[in-house]
Amino acid sequence: RFEAVVDGLLCRADYRRDGDTLTFHHTGVPEALAGRGIAAALVDTAFAYARAQRLSVLPACSYVRTYMQRHPETQSLLPPGTTL
């Protein structure tokens, strides 16, 4: 998982790796930290890692799916034939 501790609270983006694909299944930020862009920063970091390692991203998590819809430039990380 990708994680950050902010104000003593754990924020995370959980994934499973299957071959060359990272399937993101949960993104969580405590309510006290909501609206600060922390989830987006975690996803940005995860996507940068995926690009650097030449991995695909499968958004099973609704947050990651919505993020990819809002940021079309990230859709190149989807496995071939996958649509949002």
Q: Measured in whole angstroms, how far is the alpha carbon of residue 77 from the centre of its chain?
A: 11
Q: Is the dihedral of CA 7, 13, 14, 18 positive or negative?
A: negative
32 burial via Cβ count (<10 Å: 0-12, 13-18, 19+)? exposed
* pLDDT at residue 31, rounded to an integer: 96
* 29-81 pLDDT tens trace: 999 999 999 999 999 999 999 999 999 999 999 999 999 999 999 999 999 99
Q: What is the pTM of this model?
A: 0.92
* 41-52 pLDDT tens trace: 999 999 999 999
